[in-house]
Every structure is written in structure tokens, then in C-alpha cells.
Amino acid sequence: MTFIIPIGPQHPALEEPAHFRIEVKGEEIVGVDLRLGYNHKGIEQGLSDRSYAHGLYLSARVCGICNSTHSLAFTRAVESVAGIECPDRARYIRVIDAELERIHSHLLWAGVAAHEIGFTTLFMLFWRDRELSLDMRELLFGQRIYASGTYLGGARVDIKEKDIPQLIRTLNKLEKSVKHYIDVCTSDRTIIARCSGVGVLKKKDARELCAVGPTARASGVDFDIRRDDPYAAYGEIPFDVIVEQDGDVFAKVVVRLREILESIDIIRQAIDAMPKGAIRTKFPENVPENEAVGRTEAPRGELMYYVRSNGTNKPERVRIRTPSYANWPSVRPMLVGGTIADIPIVVASIDPCFSCTDRVTIIDTKTGKSRIMTKEELRRLRK
């Protein structure tokens, strides 16, 4: 007899609301159903109501942790549509911005994952080091979380010479910490027991279900937009794409921690290679009719913006496909056959960002109604 466990919309394992209906027999999971839409904000519609400059800020608010990448992808698409190229120094600043964000996102994720397997000490230690990455963002871009350093036609702020020694010192400190964490995670018995062989996503499933980012790379799918479709200054900075073959949660942990080390390396190279010069060019107010796609490698995977312009200062249509959205179908093969105890860590292993997933349209104030719907849904489930 199967038994249904509701995970969410309110649950300690989830940072944002979603609803999983998990069918279980004893501790084993036999079926998964996912409901999204609790964080529906109406951003795609909102972007076509606002000018491009205003839209830049709105696109950054799709997600709290990937804000730099969102505004960068939007900028990439809009600059393609308008036929504008930003100056060289700005391209390097964008790289530094994006990689700092990747470091922050992966450290945050690592802490959350440690919490999901009940290892609160490691959670606290990861987040202590996350403060270092936030300090760097504040130093360079003036803000800890919403630091997006991109602007249409260039970068928002310039990186000052006097800040660079402090940046390098912090990067070195962070690199030592992360190397220590990699040692801890690969040798601690309880972590290996909880993560190894759990939530396996086979390479065939990852490719068919179009998984992206570290989720796909941990299953042996060699896919990274920074290398395949280079943007900003990535074409000029050599780096390694980290790929693991096992596809389990442990592989995903290793991929993300090693990517932090790669990011630190990329930032160092970018600082050395950064040319002097202007950081912005003029961006026209009205953009001629055209369409283009801008893609970036967000911390969670491939992020795509499609922009269609119509000659005015507002876009005709903006379509956002976030990496978390693409990774949801992969959750089902990862969960089925596992146990309840594995649900939090498996769901966390794709690094879900519901904020990113639910950003499609609701026009009027029906958002209030959707909250009431949630309670009804729960009441229906209880019976």
C-alpha cells in the first residue's frame, strides 16, 4: 500500500515553496509528482512592459543568487539585438562579476547541502567562508548579494587598482579553505555514506531530459556555455570544465567544489589580463526590430534569454529559460527507487532555485488567490 508524503510548500528542506507529492512504500519512493508555481512573479510580462534599461534591473531580480548572470544574459541578448559591442575592459569586469557570483552560489549551496544531510557544523563552516566571497563582491561592486556589475553597453562600475591586493588576499584565503573542504568531503565517512550512490542520474537520462549545469556535468555530460558559446572574455581565458562520471550526489558535490577552485583561477587570470580603457559605450534608447538569443553559464547551468525588439524602447517579447527550470524533469529518475531520507539531499543536489523556475506571467492580482489555493490543496491532501 503506497503512502503519500507531502513535501512542501512549507518544509524545512526547501528554501522556497514547491510541492512534491511523494508516494512511498515504507521508506522507498515509488512515485514523484511536482507542483511549481508558488513563486510566480510575472517577470516575462513585466519585461515587455518596461524599457530595456529598466528591464535590466528587473531581470536581475529573477533570482537572488544568480542576479549577475541574469542581467548578463539579458544584456548579451539585448546587445546582440541592437548590434552593440561593449568595450574590452567591460568584458573582463563581467567575467570577474560572474565568477565571484559562481563562488558565492556554490558555497551557499554547499552549506545548504550539508544541512540537508544533518551535518550542521559543516553548514556553519561553509557559510563562514561564504562571507569571504560576499566581502569581495561588496569591495568591488558595492553590494553583497545584488551586485550585478553589468550595464547595457558595458559594466556598471570600474574595478579600482587599490582594491586588487585585497581581492587577491581574500581569494588566496578562500582557495585554502575550499581545498580543505574538498579533503573533508571526500574522506568523511558519514558524508560519503549519505551522498555516494544516492540520487544517481544516468548519462542517458541527463541528455534526454536536457539537464544542464553541474547536474549534467556530474553525469558525464560535457556541456558548459563558457566554453561552447563563449561570452564576455571567456574566449580569452583558458580554464577547465569539471566533469565527473558517477552521476550521484557525491559527484555533484565534487563538481561544484572544484568549480570554485576554477573560478578563483579564472578571476586571477582576468585581473592580470584586464586591459585599461573605457567601461561603457553608448546604448541607443530605441532598438531596431530584430531578435536574438543570449546565453550564459549561470552557477546552476545554462541560462537563456530570447529577446525580440520592435523598434521602440521596450522589448516586444522576452523569454527566459533558467537552469533550474531545465533540471526539474531530472529529479524524478533521481528520486524513484531511493528512500525518504534521500529526498532533501537529492532535491538540493540540482541546486533548485524556485525563484528562477516560477518567473512566468501572472497579469493581475490573482497572486493572492494562488496562496489560498495552496491551503486548499493541503486540506485536500490531508483527507
Partner 1 sequence: MNANEVAQLIKRYADDVKIVGARQVFAATDKERYIEALTALVDNDLRHLTTITGVDRGDNVDVIYHIHCGESLLNLKLSVPKTSLEIETVTDIFPGATLYERELMEMLGVQVKGHPDPRRLFLPDDWPAGKFPLRKEAKK
Partner 2 sequence: MFPGILFAGAVGLLFAGIDRKLTGHMQNRIGPPIWQEFLDVGKLFGKEDITPTAANSFVFNCAPLLCFGAIMAVMLLLPINSSQPVLTSVGDLIVIIYLLNIPAVCMMLAGYASGCPFGTIGSSRYMVQLLGYELAFIIAALAAAAKVGWSLSLSSIVSYQAQNGWMVSQVALIPAAIAILIAAQGKLLRAPFDIPEAESEIVHGSLTEYSGPKLGILRIAYDIELFVVAAVIVVLFFGGPVPHTIYGIYIPGVVGFLIKCLGIVVLSTVIRNIAARLRIDQALKFFWTFPTLLAAISLFLVVVT
The reply to whether 203 sits near partner 1 by the rule CB under 8 A is no
Residue 377 Cβ, how far from partner 2 at the closest point, in Å?
15
- Segment 206 to 225, residues that bind partner 1, using CB under 8 A: 207-211, 223
**Rg of the chain in Å (alpha carbons):** 21
Q: Which of residues 90-119 bind partner 2 (CB under 8 A)?
A: 114-119
Report, in Å, the least distance between residue 68 CB and partner 2.
Answer: 28
Grouping H, G, I as helix, E, B as strand and the rest as coil, residue 102 is helix
Q: Is 358 a binder of partner 1 (CB under 8 A)?
A: yes
Q: Can residue 137 be called a binding residue for partner 1 (CB under 8 A)? A: no
Q: Does 128 bind partner 2 (CB under 8 A)?
A: yes
Of 261, 299, 251, nearest in space to 179 by CA:
261
Residue 44 binds partner 2, judged by CB under 8 A: no
Strand order in the sheet with 301-309: 290-298, 301-309, 315-321
Q: At what angle do helices 164-187 and 249-273 cross, to 10 degrees?
A: 160
Say how far apart CA 378 and CA 263 lie, in whole Å.
Answer: 43
CA 324 to chain centre: 7
Of 157, 293, 340, 378, which lies in the binding site for partner 1, with binding defined by CB under 8 A?
A: 293
What's the angle, vertex CA 100, arms to CA 252 and CA 195, rounded to 5? 15
Provide the CB-side half-sphere exposure for 81 (13 A, CA). Answer: 34
Helix axes 164-187, 120-141, angle to 10 degrees: 160
Could you say which residues in the range 297-316 bind partner 1, by CB under 8 A?
302, 304, 306, 308, 316
CA distance 125 to 322: 29
Query: Which of partner 1, partner 2, none does residue 370 bind to, with CB < 5 to 8 Å depending on kind?
Result: partner 1
- In the bound state with partner 1, the residue whose beta carbon lies nearer, of 136 and 212, is 212
**Cis peptide preceding 9, ω within 30 of 0:** yes
Partner whose binding site includes residue 191, from partner 2, partner 1, none (CB under 5 to 8 Å by kind)? partner 2
214: cell is 553541474
Per CB under 8 A, the list member of 43, 105, 325, 352 interacting with partner 1 is 325
Return the one option of partner 1, partner 2, none that residue 184 interacts with (CB less than 5 to 8 A, by type): none
CB of 354 to partner 1, least distance (A): 11
Give the nearest distance from C-beta 119 to partner 2 in angstroms: 4
Q: Are 108 and 132 in contact (CB under 8 A)?
A: no
By the rule CB under 8 A, 375 interacts with partner 2: no
Q: Which of 49, 124, 273, 286 binds partner 2 (CB under 8 A)?
A: 124
Considering the rule CB under 8 A, would residue 373 count as an interface residue with partner 1?
A: yes
What lies within 8 Å, CB to CB, of 5 at 6+ separation is: 21, 22, 24, 340
Applying CB under 8 A, which of residues 2, 120, 166, 286 lies at the interface with partner 2? 120
Q: 3-state class of 114 per DSSP?
A: helix
For residues 149 and 200, what is the distance between their CA atoms, to the nearest angstrom? 36
Residue 231 or 354: the one with the smaller Cβ distance to partner 2 is: 354
CB of 115 to partner 1, least distance (A): 28
Closest CA to 144 of 262, 54, 64: 64
Name which of 90, 74, 67, 87 is nearest 148 in CA terms.
67
The footprint of partner 2 (CB under 8 A) covers 3-6, 11-13, 26-27, 114-122, 124-125, 128, 188, 190-191, 193-194, 339-344, 382
The footprint of partner 1 (CB under 8 A) covers 36-37, 40, 44-45, 80, 207-211, 223, 228-229, 291-293, 295, 302, 304, 306, 308, 316-317, 319, 321, 325-326, 328-329, 358, 360-363, 366, 369-370, 373, 377
